[in-house]
Structure 1
Amino acid sequence: MTASTGTSKALTSQVELGELATGQALTAPLFSFKGSDSAAPSVYIQANVHGAEVQGNAVIYQLMTLLESYTILGDIRCLPLANPLGINQKSGEFTLGRFDPITGVNWNREYYEHADIISNIPQWCELNQGLSDAELVAAFRELLTRSCQQRIANSWGISTGHRLAVTLQSMAHDADIVLDLHTGPKSAKHLYCPEYDVEAAGFFSIPFSLIIPNGFGGAMDEAAFYPWWQLQQYCATQQRQFDVPVAAFTLELASQERIDMADAKEDALGILAYLSHRGVIEEKVLPAEMPRWGCYLKDYKKFHAPKAGLVEYCAEVGKPLAAGEPLVTLLRLDQYGSEQALTSVSLPCDCVPVLHFASASVHQGTELYKVMTNVFEIK
């Protein structure tokens, strides 16, 4: 890894995400690095859409500190603290900001599918068939951004959470690379990577990858790449070949409610390796040497509590678990004196536990673990 002797400083501004009931603007700080090459890919990175998932902010800090010593070719915008409403949604010592308290909807499922644009791609392409590939991409990007603006300004209004999400999405649509930084409850690091871009998983400092379909499920990464994948697929049927113009990933940076600056630097270096590979910075940054494993999203399984009780989480996240080995032990004090008081539970197949529920007190049906099955090595 080599760094230049030059210094790049981020410009700081504020993004308005909505209004509070008192009439004050809801804002978040935006940090922007101006690239020197207009042909280089542009980048948008956000963190902390879920209130308790704070480690991404530390990663952005470490990344911006590193970027000061590199030659930046493509524009980079970083938005930590992207959801002030979720961050400030506290109850005692816990942060509850995973769901919009007004609607109950997951903050990360509020993005806009652009269904009208996608269904109209054949007609739009016919109207714009005279454009070059670069002009077509620029026109489609402008179409997506304008659609977000119209969504926000429509005469019927939109919910608080949807407004925040579409505002973030509008910024993401300006970029060629979109990174959404999250964490799990008690979690190993893992990456959500679309099927069309599996090779990208080899650059981030993340040992596990979930290979997701090239579709839309409501999250930011899908909202960013899905319209472009649809455009690329249709153009291919018309003998017009080009790569999907936008790359988007969700990085799950271990567990929530923690800040680890040394760990954040390792993840920032992984992001820097990917940005180097894509030509966003001039210098060469090699990815960390580490084994990387993946599974398809259909093989990412949820285990739900078979009964209520108190739970000992026996399986360590990020460590392979053989079929029949203990996953959890369930304690039921109301059944003391019987064989049902203490129950060991295992799974019928080999897996890698990726995350588990944060609390040791659970209802029947609580999602206790998510595990990777049919795991393969990513090279």
Structure 2
Amino acid sequence: MQKSEIAIAGDTSGVEFRLPVVKFPGADASAPKTYMQAALHAEELPGVAALHFLIPMLEAAEKRGDILGSITIVPKANPVGASQYVNGANEGRFDLGSRTNFNRDYPLLSGDERDSLLDGVEELLAAEQLKHHLLHMASGADLMLDLHCDDESQLYAYLHEVWWPEATDLAESIGLEAVLLSDGKSSAFEDAVTHAWQHGPLGNRKAWHEGRISLTMEFRGLADVDPVLGRMDAEGLYAFLQRRGVLKGEPIRKESFEGVVAGLDYVQMVDAPVTGMVLFEREYGEVVEKGDHLATIVTTPGDAAGDVKVTAPAEGTIVTRITRRFVRRTDNLMKIASRELSQAKRKKGGGLED
């Protein structure tokens, strides 16, 4: 195992951030190269817990000679966001300087332009330096897993539709409960890596996507950080690497996948029609019918006349639910994966949310 740090100059004199990188060299140059990172949104820690337990497993595999493909891990991918506190609360999703999501606005370059990401990188603002370094490492891999989590949610993943159903091996390894298929047209990290591959040299491949995968894992909700889940998720990641020929051995885990699969245009975004206290009637993971009562928003406590009922716009499975119980008008309450085309418009940058 090799440990290193990437220095990122802060935007003010005397400030510097350190980005830790862990590498496991592979014994077989033809085996897939893997890149994994967690906490790109700095307060999202379930993926960090998974990597915390995975790294010792990989150390043991290295001693046994079981690592075939090189593996690069960035266990905490956003020291800039981790340092941002406002009134005692961490703001790790958006860069406070630009208000840009740390998982948006990545350079969309071809694979041939990969090395240009580091040209003059030290002259950029800290958040942009971070993005360039992360994308440079990830776009040189064959398997890219960006580990996130939602507010409250099922265990699910976002990936380009070209990799389904081939990615069933991921679903069976991790124990996914839902898969959301994208068109690759956003500026999120996952899609920036896909773009580099799609517009790069094929090498020995017949198609740009052959033997590759770039995805965003949503390891349940913000509070789902504990040793039991961390170890289980680490085993799932390990099993996936075994299935893809990065690690030797029979996969140590396999779950049957019976979850929902839906394109992003079929994800119903259930938003709050008014401001108030939300009382949820349904849990994430439940299947609902069109018109089902999902939540009540209380606008005037003690006066039921001010209650606003929120109903399901279509049949489907509730994949996510907001953590907060005080919501503003237009805040997203739930995401429902359905078979009916959603009327929700994609946000700037092509994502479901900012």
In the other structure, the counterpart of 2:154 is 188
Q: 1:328 aligns with which of 295, 299, 306?
A: 295
Question: 1:257-272, aligned counterparts within 5 Å?
Answer: 257-272=223-238
Match of 1:11 among 2, 23, 31: 2
Query: 2:55 aligned with 1:55, yes or no?
Result: no
Distance 1:51 1:20 in 2: 18
Q: 1:163 aligns with which of 129, 139, 142?
A: 129
Aligned length: 328
1:257-315 CA-to-partner distances (Å, cap 9, x unmatched) read 54222112222222222211211001120432342321111101211111111111222
Secondary structure at 2:250 match in 1: coil
The corresponding residue for 1:225 is 194
| Contact map agreement 1:201 1:209 (CA 8 A) in 2 | no
Instruction: Give the direction of change, closer, same or farther, for the CA distance of 1:338–1:62 in structure 2 (3 Å limit).
Output: closer
Report what 1:97 is aligned to.
Answer: 92
- In structure 1, C-alpha distance between the alignment counterparts of 2:87 and 2:230, rounded to whole Å: 26
Q: Which has the higher helix share?
A: 1
Judged with a 3 Å threshold, the aligned counterparts in structure 2 of structure 1 residues 13 and 158 are, in CA distance, closer, same or farther, namely closer
What amino acid maps onto 2:187 in structure 1?
G
Match of 1:134 in 2: none
Aligned counterpart in structure 1 of residue 309 of structure 2, from 338, 344, 365: 344
Normalized against structure 2, the TM-score is what? 0.86
Unmatched 5+ stretches in structure 2: 341-354
One-letter code aligned to 1:74 = G
Q: 1:293 aligns with which of 260, 274, 284?
A: 260
Q: Does 1:207 align with 2:177?
A: yes
State the one-letter code of the partner of 2:181. Answer: I
Deviation at 1:163, TM superposition (A): 1.9
Match of 2:21 among 23, 27, 30: 30
Pairing 1:305–2:272 present? yes
Could you say if the C-alpha distance between residues 102 and 201 of structure 1 is closer, same or farther in structure 2, counting changes exceeding 3 Å?
A: farther
- C-alpha distance in structure 2 between counterparts of 1:151 and 1:184, whole Å: 34
Q: How far does the alpha carbon of each residue in 1:321-363 deviate from its partner, in whole angstroms, 9 at most, with x for none?
A: 22232211111226x54522x2332113212111122211111
In the alignment, the residues of structure 1 paired with residue 131 and residue 60 of structure 2 have an alpha-carbon distance, to the nearest angstrom, of 32
Change (3 A) 1:201 1:249: farther
Q: Larger Cα Rg: Structure 1 or Structure 2?
A: 1
- Whether contact under 8 Å (1:295, 1:373) holds in the other structure is yes
Shift of 1:243: 4.8
Deviation at 1:105, TM superposition (A): 0.6
In structure 1, stretches of 5+ residues that fail to align are 1-9, 118-139
Counterpart amino acid of residue 282 in structure 2: A
Q: CA deviation at 1:221?
A: 1.1
Q: CA deviation at 1:225?
A: 1.4
Sequence identity (%): 26
Aligned-partner SS, 1:14: strand
Instruction: Please give the secondary structure, in 1, of the residue aligned with 2:196.
Output: helix
Alignment RMSD (CA, Å): 2.2
The match for 2:332 is 367
